[in-house]
Structure 1
Amino acid sequence: MVDDMKNIRRPALIALTAALAVGVSACGESDPAPGDGATTTSSAAQTSDETSAGETSSGATSETAPASSSGSDTWHTAIEAAEQEADGTAYEIDDQDDDETWEVDVAKGKTSSEVQIAADGTVRGEDDTDLDDDDRAGLAAAKITLVEAIEAALEEADGSLDDAELEEEGGKHFWQVTVDTADRTEVEVRVDVTSGTATVEPDDDNTDDD
């Protein structure tokens, strides 16, 4: 009798053990391991942050890209510095040494001050002389400034400023601006003192002598 009961219990225990094993296995498959969800969420958040950072960086780069420059404007700084130093009106500028150290002539009353200006706008020296009658008459006739005349000339002839001054021909005053081009040639531009119209003068070297 005892042997019969043992024989009955053994299959029952085996069946119960198998059922428990299947249940534990099913629970293991359905429930994620601790930390799996956090890892997935963290990875997604990191990817999103990296994408946003990349987009922001790209936008900032496009917005802050440096603008192209058409050339040096140290002549403009030199004129402003010379006019402030001599307290007058600039009517001539020259880069004699081609090193962007400028000599600027400034008129004040009957006096002309030649002011030497470094490339950074520093005043290096100043010499005073009497203002020439022709220059005085040219300044009286001029409706545009030296700066405006140079800007008009540089729009007409692509290059950098070499010198500019007041000139007179046949009783008519004008601004004479010399521009150094990229191929190292000089172009003379005449600028009307009243209208500001700029005209490139013919190159005498290329004129036929027929």
Structure 2
Amino acid sequence: MKRNLYAVSAASVVLMLGGPVAAAAAATADTARTAPAAAARVDVTAEAAIAAALKAHPGVVESVDRDGSVWHVDVISKDGKHAELKVDSAGGAVSKENQDDDDGDDRAPLLAAKVTAAEAAKAALAAHAGQVWSVNWDDDDDNGKRYWDVEVKTADGKTQNVHVDPASGKVIASNSDADDNDDDT
């Protein structure tokens, strides 16, 4: 009788300890299976969003702005058509929001610029390490200067506003926006 009691007690201990150990082992195996899938997700950069948009609608990028999980990209084609595209920041899928005909008269300087939006983004990143959040063509009405306005979010949480010359690709101005209350994140 004592032997049966010992056997039942031993079996109970194995079951009590074995259940949580088996559950932990199963959870570890499940985590190992799903971890590569989560690690494979890579956010689309501004440069990649520009490339995806231009593949879908060839032309010249006028602006690219990140809004949550979507990049908004405005493209002007050589024949003056303006397209507003959305690029998913998780996978890079492109969808067209709007397209219209444009006379193109006011966009002639943009179409003639030697430096593209993607090149302006690279120049801004060379000056300030971080992530490009927007690139916009700026046709300053006050003094007629034209430049690429690039917003870079740095690792320390600051926003750098960088102006890039559309002829040379050089950074011509840069300032920090320490009060980063941007709700586009």
If the TM-score is normalised by the length of the shorter chain, which range does it land in?
A: 0.5 to 0.7
* Structure 1, unpaired ranges of 5+: 1-70
Equivalent position to 1:75, from 43, 46, 51: 46
For the pair 1:194 / 2:167, whether they are aligned, the reply is yes
1:156-171 mapped onto 2 (5 Å cutoff): 156-169=127-140, 170-171=143-144
More strand by share: 2
Q: Secondary structure at the match of 2:51?
A: helix
Following superposition, the deviation at residue 129 of structure 1 comes to 3.2
Residues 202, 75 of structure 1: alpha-carbon distance in 2 compared, 3 angstrom cutoff: closer
Q: Deviations over 1:67-98 (max 9, x none)?
A: xxxx966222211111121222222100022x
User: Could you tell me how far 1:204 is from its partner in structure 2?
Assistant: 7.2
How do 1:131-170 residues align onto structure 2 when only pairs under 5 Å count?
A: 131=102, 136-169=107-140, 170=143
Distance change >3 Å, CA 193–CA 134, structure 1 → 2: farther
The alignment's C-alpha RMSD in Å is 2.5
Alignment match of 1:105 (pick from 67, 74, 93): 74
TM-score norm. by structure 2 comes to 0.63
TM-score by length of 1: 0.56
State the aligned residue count: 134
Larger proportion of helix? 1
Deviation at residue 137 of structure 1 after TM alignment: 3.0
Please list the CA deviations of residues 122-181 of structure 1 after superposition, one character each: whole Å capped at 9, or x if unmatched: 113331134486861331341111111100001101110110011022112110000011
C-alpha separation between the residues in 1 aligned to 2:119 and 2:44?
A: 13
Higher RCO structure (Cα 8 Å, ≥6 apart) = 2
